[in-house]
Structure formats: structure tokens, C-alpha cells
Amino acid sequence: MRRFRVLILALLLMAAAAEARAQTVADIETAWRGWMNRNGRTTGSLAVLHQGRVAHEAATGRDGIGQPLPMASLSKAVTGVCIAGLIDQGRLAFDTPLSQALARTVARVGTPVDPRLLGVTVAQLLTHRAGFDPGRNHDPATAPLYVYLAKATATRTAFDEGVKWIFGNKLPLPPGARYVYSNAAYLLLGAIIQETTGQDYETYCKTTVLTPLGARGAALDPAWRILSSYGGWRMSLADYGRFYQAFAEGNPAIGPVARRWMMSPEGKQIGGGSGVHYGLGTFVRPTAEGGGNFWHWGGWSYDLRPAFDGPLHASYSTFAVRWGALDVNVVVHMEPTLAGEGGAGNQLNGALGAAARKVTRWP
């Protein structure tokens, strides 16, 4: 009987130990590493933040913890929050048209071949409803890069050149017709930030948004500054997680006017009845608790030889997610790029979320 009681006690202790292990932030890393292995990724890194503070970091392959990494399209949220600040200050409005927001730029580079573009509003740019459709005629912000980078450097932002490329194309869709994701919309928003503030895009966003949120090491990628406001930021994953805390309910980085607009799905729905819409450079799903869930994928795959700067090669993906009710942000980097965010991307999101919801003891 005594031996039986000892065995039962041992089993209970083992079960308690297993339960304790399943309730720690390290299990988020375990979920991430499992996904990396299943998808053949040997280089990558992970940062987990709880209540705005770094709770866990991990890296494998060529990545290192704390290493500055390119963010690709996660950069759009930086641009979105910068625009939100200008709106809450009254320097812009969601219904400000390009004819006003880029008046001086238009005077410099010329009028667009499609006059409808001048009526596109800041809100339509933010929500990818400006009338661009890369699936029909390529993205006018990135399609000309192969020709341009053969003769010019990728290490400067070149907003005027990008605006000229966009202005040289007719809109395949009527402005406001529907959501279609593009880089062109966020290139124009970067140009709007420069014209509205009189400062270069990087300086303004770093000074007013990134540094106050604790992302002090953030900067445009020296090798890819050309990607600027739609894909050019580089920082550690922890710094991006600190920036992503801007989307936390009540965080002053996004003022009341912009936050109300961001959280309302009106005029921003993506479709399919999912309850998801696109707000300030990130996807949004409002929830009853915590102000909502936010996420975005990024990726850049490029190979140009020869180029003005020498051979240009990049292949990586990024992912950021915030679960408002948990007050948890997770940021991931991987190489090479993930082909689309469909099945494998959804599996990563699901695995990370399931692990995060089990954590009961945070550092």
C-alpha cells in the first residue's frame, strides 16, 4: 500500500511539473520552433512582449537576439501611426484628398495621368481602397524598381521618383471601390508625411512615434531605404514589439480621433464576413475585451544582378501579432521568405496564439 501511495504521489508530481511547463512563456518558443522545423526554416528569431515589456526572445541560424532586422511590410504600421498623429493634431484629416495633401509635390513632379488620383483620400490610402490593383497591372511603387536600381542607388528614399511612377499609371479600379493591398498607397502616405511636416519621413516617424514607444534602435534599412514608408524599416524584433504596443487600448501613441476611426469597420471591411478590416497599416479584428487583435505579414524577395549598388539579394518574411485581451505582442523573422501567408502562415498564428493563451506565469 505504501509503495502504491508513493507511486501515486510521483505521478501527481510529474503531472504538476508538466502542467507548470505548459504555462510558461517558453512554450511560445516551442510552438515557434516546431512550426519552423515543419516548414523547413533554419534561420529565424522570435520576440514575445507582455504588457509592453520583453518576456522572451529566441533565435536560430544566422539570426541573433537583439539583432536589427528588416521589417518589410510591417513598416506600414509605422507609417499608419505617424499619419494618425498628424490627424489627431489637426494637421491632416481622413478625408483630406491628395490634391491638398500633396499639393507641393504635384507642383514639383507633375499631375497624374489619371485625374481620379487627386481625389483619393488619406483614409482610402490607409485602407488600401485608393484604386490600385497590383494583380491587374503590377504595383506602381515596386514594378519600376528593376529598371531604376540598375542605374540608381537603393540607399536613398526617392519619394519624388516613386510618386512619379504612381502618377504615370491609370487606376485600374475606381477609388473607394474595394480593398486591394498595395505598396503604392503607403508610398504616397510617406510622401504626405514629408510634405505635411516639412521633415524627412525617417526623422519624423523616429522622433515622434518610434523613440517615444521605446523602439530607439529603429532606422530605415541602410541598404533598402528606397522601400521607405511601405517596407523600409529595420529594428530588433523587441523594438518592433515595443512599437506595436501603440495599438494597445488607451496607448497615447494613437489619439482618440484616430483610434475611433481605426477600430470602426465602417468603410474598411475586407470581405468574407470575417469581421476583419484594415486600419493604420495593420489588420484589425475588434474584440469585446482588450481593444482587439492586430496582425500583419511582411516579406521581401529580390534578386538583381548587376545593380547600381552591386548585387542586390533579399529573401525573408516577418510577422507581428497582438492579442489585446492577453496584452501580448509576438514578432517573428524568418529566412527564406514564406510563399504567401495562407495555410502555413495561419498555422503559425494559430500555434503562437494557442501557446500564449496557456501562459499563466509571465516573467
Residue 48 domain flag: no
The Cα-based distances of 157 to 116, 176, 225, 230 in angstroms read 26, 28, 5, 11
CA distance 345 to 337: 11
Residue 154 domain flag: yes
pLDDT tops 70 at residue 161: yes
The Cα-based distances of 49 to 29, 328, 330 in angstroms read 12, 6, 6
C-alpha distance across the termini of the chain, in Å: 41
- Residue 239 sits in a domain whose CATH number is 3.40.710.10
pLDDT tens digits, one per residue of 119-152: 999 999 999 999 999 998 899 999 999 999 999 9
Counting beta carbons within 10 angstroms of the beta carbon of residue 274, is it exposed (0 to 12), middle (13 to 18) or buried (19 or more)?
exposed
pLDDT tops 90 at residue 181: yes
What is the pLDDT at residue 341?
66
Residue 167 domain flag: yes
Say if CB 121 and CB 97 are below 8 A apart: yes
Residue 38 domain flag: no
**pTM metric for this prediction:** 0.93
Describe the crossing of helices 256-263 and 75-88 by its angle, rounded to 10 degrees.
130
Range of the domain at 334: 58-358
172: cell is 485600374
Residue 330 domain flag: yes
Q: Collapsing DSSP states into helix, strand and coil, what is residue 47?
A: strand
Residue 152 domain flag: yes
Q: In what order do the strands lie in the sheet with 219-220?
A: 69-70, 233-235, 219-220
pLDDT tens digits, one per residue of 29-68: 999 999 999 999 999 999 999 999 999 999 999 999 999 9
Residue 329 domain flag: yes
Instruction: Give me the number of domains the chain comprises.
Output: 1
Average pLDDT, the chain: 93
What is the percentage of the chain residues whose pLDDT exceeds 90?
87
What is the pLDDT at residue 329?
98
The greatest distance separating any two alpha carbons of the chain, rounded to the nearest whole angstrom, comes to: 92
